[in-house]
């Protein structure tokens, strides 16, 4: 269970006794062609739920995980079935557009991102509310990118 699940469980316990954890199935189509179904807690976003995959969704960040302000636009996925998933917010749409245009983020310049289409979503914004969502993952996190070199330098 992630830190988010622990926080939610503690909050519900403090507010009035044991709480039932509701989980919903979401299907991830991985870059290698395999399909994986994850049962994620209601309210989790697709990025958090992807921690159950062999490797989570890539965020393009060196150490993985989301950016602090949700504005990097690097955790892109394609939602092929919106069933049970939250709709796109204005903030998410603006973040995708800023990334496509290559606007600076966190004070750093960046190259323009790939064009978006009607299926493009950011996994850190897209919440799981009910069963049925299906997501095509564009890139998984590469654990080798943070392992360091064999000489330890």
The pLDDT tens digits of the residues spanning 72-95 come to 888 999 999 999 999 999 999 999
How many CB atoms within 10 Å of residue 113? 20
Tell me the percentage of the chain whose pLDDT exceeds 70. Answer: 83
Concatenated DSSP letters for 48-75?
Answer: HHGGGSSSPBP-S-TT-S--TTS-S--S
CB 77 within 8 A of CB 137: yes
Per-residue pLDDT, averaged over 24-28, amounts to 97
Average pLDDT, the chain: 86
Cβ atoms of 36 and 71 within 8 Å: the answer is no
pTM of the model: 0.81
Note the pLDDT tens digit of each residue in 4-23. 567 777 777 777 655 688 99
Domain 22-142 has CATH 3.40.50.970: no
Mean pLDDT within 57-71: 72
For the chain, list the strands marked E by DSSP.
23-29, 35-41, 76-81, 120-122, 134-137
CB 42 within 8 A of CB 123: no
Task: Return d(Cα 105, Cα 94) in angstroms, integer.
Answer: 13
Q: What is the number of alpha carbons within 13 Å of residue 55 lying toward its C-beta?
A: 17
Is there a contact between 2 and 51 (Cβ–Cβ < 8 Å)?
A: yes
User: To which H or E segment does residue 25 belong?
Assistant: strand 23-29
Residue 62 pLDDT > 90:
no
């Amino acid at each position: 269970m992630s830190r988010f699940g622990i926080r939610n469980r503690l909050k519900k316990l403090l507010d009035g006794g044991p709480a039932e954890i509701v989980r919903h199935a979401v299907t991830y189509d991985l870059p290698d062609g395999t399909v994986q179904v994850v049962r994620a807690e209601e309210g989790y976003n697709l990025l958090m739920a992807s921690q159950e995959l062999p490797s989570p969704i890539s965020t393009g960040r060196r150490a993985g995980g989301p950016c602090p302000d949700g504005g990097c636009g690097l955790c892109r996925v394609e939602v092929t079935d919106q069933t049970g998933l939250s709709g796109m917010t204005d903030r998410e749409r603006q973040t995708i557009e800023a990334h496509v245009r290559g606007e600076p983020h966190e004070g750093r310049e960046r190259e323009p991102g790939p064009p978006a289409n009607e299926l493009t979503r950011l996994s850190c914004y897209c919440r799981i509310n009910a069963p049925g969502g299906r997501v095509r993952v564009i890139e998984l996190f590469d654990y080798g990118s943070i392992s360091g070199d064999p000489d330890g330098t």
